Structure 1
């Protein structure tokens, strides 16, 4: 083996030897930062879904009330998965409303919207969530983090389907 190549391999091994799961501290920080931003957005989205579930009114009440409940239950699972993935890296996930609100692009919404305005808000949230999911995928691919990428691919598939379904509903 070429001495320069052996030195480079030794240097890479040594650099990674002090990090969790074989990622450098910098790689871990980049993955966790992307996951925490997604976590913050998901957490605000979750609360918005609960707000809408409790406060939807009108002719679409039964359909939308139940669908919002399904969505916040799915969001709760996603939030837990993202936070636990951050813990896998030995880091602490965001966990306060202040952190969520400070970091999230998704904003809180009032409860006096019509059912269709609520659906429109959720569609915008899905687009923001997807943008953050794709960012996490890109970071994961760049760092060789197949576990995070696999988790995100499943979330993307589910979110895209939800986006399609809410879009179809809103086109009455």
Structure 2
């Protein structure tokens, strides 16, 4: 087994980098969705939601950077073109969303897809003894599960 410079199996790190690039592409689409709903939201809940969406897109932007830097740490190259993001992302595209409930449902659906990807990466990271990636995924998962719960509560829907 060949080890990389941080002591992990090089092949497993390469596979993790590929999976993290898929997550990166999905986070970039999620980020763009959040920007769009932040800009376009209308209605009586505008003030509260406008601020909340800004909070969420700032957080997503930080996570994009963390994911890209983890890919680099593992020896990979982070995707960085919209073409790559569009080819790899499965998070839905939210276009011209102005209604509060539609925006919140987009966030819940997007986070649900991100959580699935993160759990897969968490499993692969555990198999590779990659504590750095495992810790990052665990942090992302716990934060996003709470956000989904809060969004579902706002929608008055059960988890």
- Report the Cα distance in structure 2 between the residues aligned to 1:92 and 1:67, rounded to whole angstroms: 32
For residues 116 and 107 of structure 1, what CA distance do their matches in structure 2 show? 16
- How far does residue 108 in structure 1 lie from its aligned partner after superposition? 1.8
For the aligned residue pairs, the C-alpha RMSD in angstroms reads 1.4
Flag the structure with higher helix content: 1
- Distance across 2 between alignment mates of 1:150 and 1:25: 19
Distance 1:71 1:86 in 2: 22
Instruction: State the TM-score, normalizing by the size of structure 1.
Output: 0.87
- Return 5+ residue gaps in structure 1 as ranges: 1-14
Aligned residues: 157
| Gapped regions of structure 2 (runs ≥ 5) | none
Report the alpha carbon displacement of residue 113 of structure 1 after superposing the two structures with TM: 4.0
Highest CA radius of gyration, 1 or 2?
1
Q: Does 1:121 align with 2:109?
A: no
- Asked if the contact 1:50–1:68 (Cα under 8 Å) also holds between the matched residues in 2, the reply is yes
The TM-score with structure 2 as length reference comes to 0.93
Separation of aligned partners in 2, 1:113 and 1:170: 16
Aligned partner (choices 35, 57, 60) of residue 75 of structure 1:
60
Q: Which moved more, 1:116-125 or 1:19-28?
A: 19-28
